[in-house]
A and B are shown apart, each in its own frame.
Chain A
Amino acid sequence: MFDNFPLWPARASTAAGNVDALYIFLIIVSGMMTLLVFTAIVIFAARYRHRRGVLAEQIEGSIPLEITWSIIPLGVFMVIFVWGAVVYFHSRTPPRDSTDVYVVAKQWMWKLQHAEGQREINSLHIPVGRDVRLIMTSQDVIHSFYVPAFRMKQDVLPGRYTTAWFHATKAGTYHLFCAEYCGTQHSGMIGSIVVMEPAQYEAWMSGGNTGPLSASGERIFAELGCATCHRSDTQGRGPSLQGVFGKPVQLQDGRIVTADENYIRESILDPGAKIVNGFKPVMPTFQGLVSEEQVNALVAYMKSLSGASAAKTNTATAQPTAPAKGNQVQ
């Protein structure tokens, strides 16, 4: 491959192969359609060019033909749709027990924090062969987390979490781009994804860690006095948060919602929006009092209360390509 004339992006995730396969299929299909139409045009244009004395033959049209060339493309399109939908559905459904990385985008930098505690700016170190899930939010405008080598892109919105995941397959350094126009230094909001072999990753992880994110979350939880109401028994003024994450919650108005990252985030910043059944709307809002990073830490803490990180550690160690790592490193 030419260094400054690439024709194909690096393929470094499990999703990349799926996307490329569909892409190649589409190139073949549309190449055939183009060939068909262009050949017909060229042949007709040459064969039926104007000759003196030869008149055009008037043809009204043909309903069978019209139906044929409506139905066949439609059939092809449906194949493309289904294939595309399968690829998309796969890329939008994060596997259970992935490693979490929290991403905060701002004009014009990426701030990333591993659940294990490592902080990074404009670069992300991850090991080969592990499912990594990104939990992303923005401090200002809409950004988009784009890694061409992973064929992965997800807009990062202010005021809520969006998530994405990937499973890197090849060690190397890949581009991270902001793909949603975000102002002056949009094109400078780039970084690198460093995919490392598990052993190197271990080494990298052990350097300069400040403890897991959930631990900082626990500290913030205590500092803000959350525990006075959200007690671990059921006697508090607020619901107990033990084991809540990932579970359905019955709300006062009868709805049942899943306690996911967005739910916890909303409950911190806009507590009145969803009142848990049987509790009073007495919690004050923490909007403006906590930073996006602190909210992330609280979410991570909430998850740890549900044993999410423990489960993660187990599967992480269970995976053949990703030997022992995780919490014991910290």
Chain B
Amino acid sequence: MSMATPIVTPVEREDYLNKEYGVASWLLTTDHKRIALLYLISITFFFFIGGFFALLIRLELLTPAGDLVQADTYNKLFTMHGQVMVFFFLIPSIPAVLGNFLMPMMIGAKDLAFPRINLLSWYLYIIAGIMMLHCILTGGVDTGWTFYTPFSTAFSNTKVIEAGLAIFVSGFSSILTGLNFVVTIHRMRAPGMTWSRLPLFVWAHYATSIIQILGTPVIAITLVLVVAERALHLGIFDPKLGGDPLLFQHLFWFYSHPAVYIMILPSMGVVTEIIACFSRKRIFGYNFVALSSISIAVFGFLVWAHHMFVAGISVYAALVFSLLSYSVAVPSAVKVFNWTATLYKGSIHYDAPMLYAFGFLGLFTMGGLTGLFLAALGINVHVTDTYFVVAHFHYIMVGGALMGYLGGLHFWWPKISGRLYPEGWARLAALIVFVGFNLTFFPQFILGYVGMPRRYYQYPGEFQVLNVLSTAGATVLGIGYLLPMIYFLWSMRYGKPAPDNPWNAAGLEWQTQSPPTTFNFEKQPVVTWEAYNYDEIDTGHKQEAKVVA
């Protein structure tokens, strides 16, 4: 360092971003925060790939005739839209980015329990991503993201094996993330950070990890069987050889239904943090919100065959699974009620993260309630495999999970980047996303009940008006998603430097500098306060919490 360095420039604090530069310092890092950023970049990339496919799908559906692309191309588009969005964006989105970045800080740890395994997870994800890209670029796959047999094993002449193996590898990335989180939450909490003091974000990630650990291996082995069946014609899923195609569906949905909760639970965790912060309140019914996360994870495993009510399962099995499906609805409802009750007598601020949280509440409520329709056997028969289902799961997975993800990204952006994002633009983007989303997907509920089946490349003319509405909404939605990316990038260079705790938020992650140092804390924090102690933060002393009867 030259002696002539002017002393007047403020000394830049060392943090995890400026500690080291160079490609190797990123690609070989074991710092959970840097790995989170690696994930952020890679999943954003896949989000826009998946989004591009979605755009083409919507454009094709603008007219009833199949005129934009070939039928085979269309089939590949919705297949790869699903596979990319589910396995390469939604499942890793909040856990691998926000969870990875924040969870160790929230519990007062220096890092995850297994930092090298964390890096390995990212590399597995990247390997899987490259395999998927290779599959897409060399012809793609047209089985639908569900890989239903015997179409996928014996009839499709696209790259089923490549796609299956890519998802197999990405599964191990997901498993290792879950494993890392569970061990970290059990073993790495700071002194005083008891289970009842954990932020609900951490509880949500704990529940998510349970699903990742116990569900993902089942889809892994199922994909192994699909690949083996396709390569060697073993007969396990092929009725011509004595196998049962419904067995595939059972095994597939055993994971793929709970997988929805891998997407939505972390989002619920994010929203809980945001609502508490911007209402300046302890979460109403902390224990119930925590418990409901765990029950959603557990009950989520009991309901899978509600995807199969018309598939040929027995009437008795259908009754059992329909009944069990409502067991997930109760904890979901409990969460919504508790969030709403938290607003009561709060001191509510309307910053962009809170707008996203409100958006989440609205869209998740509608997504959840339409889930009741699908769990009801009589209605399911009519609306399953129609646009009703498409609308329902987009309300949950895009309306719910993605709103939470964006809200969380705004909320913690000052911590992650050390910069403030432009608030006005952010509020505008939240509004655009909300409006665009509803315009895109609400017409699809009607479309579904009227009877338009999903995965249709061309459709009878009477469905056109609703489809045009949906496509128009998708355009708005696309703009809503591009905006944050632009202003986040902008803020990294031009945004105002963020203070350590811009929101005056509770939680250990806000008590370290922005951006944090490599080991998060100067010295081991010791927790002596309850979660969401906004009374102490706002008044300097503890307020006696009331229990309303």
> In the complex, is A directly touching B at CB under 8 Å?
yes
Chain A residues packing against B (C-beta within 8 Å) = 2-9, 18-19, 22-23, 26, 29-30, 33-34, 37-38, 40-41, 44-45, 48-51, 54-62, 64-66, 69-70, 73-74, 77-78, 80-81, 83-89, 91-92, 107, 140-142, 144, 146, 148-149, 151-155, 157-160, 162, 175, 177-188, 190, 270
Cβ contacts A to B, 11 pairs, < 8 Å: A34-B365, A54-B347, A58-B535, A58-B546, A59-B282, A59-B545, A61-B284, A84-B379, A88-B377, A186-B455, A187-B455
Task: Confirm or deny: B410 has a beta carbon within 8 angstroms of a beta carbon on chain A.
Answer: no
Interface of B is mostly: helix
CB pair B326–A81 under 8 Å, yes or no, is yes
CB pair B450–A148 under 8 Å, yes or no, is yes
Q: Are A177 and B451 CB-contacts (below 8 A) given A152-B381, A153-B382, A158-B245? A: yes
**CA separation between A185 and B345, bound complex, in Å?**
57
**CA separation between A177 and B348, bound complex, in Å?**
50
User: Nearest Cβ distance between residue A5 and chain B, in whole angstroms?
Assistant: 4
CB pair A7–B450 under 8 Å, yes or no, is yes
CB pair A73–B71 under 8 Å, yes or no, is no
**CA separation between A244 and B11, bound complex, in Å?**
93
Task: Confirm or deny: B155 has a beta carbon within 8 angstroms of a beta carbon on chain A.
Answer: yes
Task: Confirm or deny: B150 has a beta carbon within 8 angstroms of a beta carbon on chain A.
Answer: yes
B-chain residues with CB within 8 Å of residue A78 when the two chains form the complex: 326
Chain B, residues 118-161, CB within 8 Å of chain A (1/0): the string is 00000000000000000000000011101010110011100000
Select from chain A the residue with minimum beta-carbon distance to B329.
A77
Question: Which of B184-192, B304-312, B421-429 lies at the binding interface?
Answer: B304-312
A-chain residues with CB within 8 Å of residue B377 when the two chains form the complex: 84-85, 87-89
Select from chain A the residue with minimum beta-carbon distance to B451.
A148
Select from chain B the residue with minimum beta-carbon distance to A163.
B312
Category for how many chain B residues contact A: 35 or more
CB pair B334–A70 under 8 Å, yes or no, is yes
CB pair A181–B362 under 8 Å, yes or no, is no
CB pair B348–A48 under 8 Å, yes or no, is yes
Chain B, residues 49-88, CB within 8 Å of chain A (1/0): the string is 0000000000000000010000110010000000000000
User: Nearest Cβ distance between residue B493 and chain A, in whole angstroms?
Assistant: 31
Select from chain A the residue with minimum beta-carbon distance to B324.
A81
CB pair A153–B384 under 8 Å, yes or no, is yes
CB pair B380–A9 under 8 Å, yes or no, is no
Task: Confirm or deny: B251 has a beta carbon within 8 angstroms of a beta carbon on chain A.
Answer: no
Q: Top 8 A-B pairs ranked by shortest CB distance?
A: A148-B451, A159-B239, A87-B378, A84-B376, A88-B377, A61-B285, A44-B343, A30-B369
Q: Which of B156, B240, B376, B534 has the most CB of A within 10 A?
A: B376
Instruction: Tell me the residues in window 232-276 of chain B with beta carbons closer than 8 Å to chain A beta carbons.
Output: 239-240, 242, 245-246
Task: Confirm or deny: B386 has a beta carbon within 8 angstroms of a beta carbon on chain A.
Answer: yes
Given contacts A77-B326, A180-B148, A187-B458, 16 further A-B contacts (CB under 8 A): A4-B465, A7-B450, A19-B379, A37-B365, A48-B343, A48-B345, A49-B348, A61-B285, A69-B334, A77-B372, A84-B322, A144-B385, A148-B450, A153-B384, A155-B311, A182-B151
CB pair A186–B456 under 8 Å, yes or no, is yes
Partner of A45, one of B286, B343, B382: B343
A-chain residues with CB within 8 Å of residue B454 when the two chains form the complex: 179, 181
Instruction: Tell me the residues in window 458-487 of chain B with beta carbons closer than 8 Å to chain A beta carbons.
Output: 458-466
**CA separation between A157 and B455, bound complex, in Å?**
19
User: Nearest Cβ distance between residue B339 and chain A, in whole angstroms?
Assistant: 9
Partner of A141, one of B142, B151, B375: B151
CB pair A8–B346 under 8 Å, yes or no, is no
Partner of A157, one of B155, B245, B362, B384: B245
A-chain residues with CB within 8 Å of residue B150 when the two chains form the complex: 140-142, 158
CB pair B462–A66 under 8 Å, yes or no, is no
Task: Confirm or deny: B23 has a beta carbon within 8 angstroms of a beta carbon on chain A.
Answer: no
User: Nearest Cβ distance between residue B429 and chain A, in whole angstroms?
Assistant: 19
CB pair B309–A56 under 8 Å, yes or no, is no
Task: Confirm or deny: B349 has a beta carbon within 8 angstroms of a beta carbon on chain A.
Answer: yes
A-chain residues with CB within 8 Å of residue B71 when the two chains form the complex: 184-185, 187-188
CB pair B330–A74 under 8 Å, yes or no, is yes
Select from chain A the residue with minimum beta-carbon distance to B345.
A57
CB pair B379–A92 under 8 Å, yes or no, is no
Q: Are A144 and B458 CB-contacts (below 8 A) given A44-B346, A59-B344, A91-B381? A: no
**CA separation between A22 and B372, bound complex, in Å?**
11
Q: Are A154 and B310 CB-contacts (below 8 A) given A19-B378, A60-B547, A181-B151? A: yes
A-chain residues with CB within 8 Å of residue B449 when the two chains form the complex: 8-9, 23
Partner of B347, one of A48, A73, A186: A48
B-chain residues with CB within 8 Å of residue A59 when the two chains form the complex: 281-282, 284, 341, 344-345, 545-548
User: Nearest Cβ distance between residue A53 and chain B, in whole angstroms?
Assistant: 10
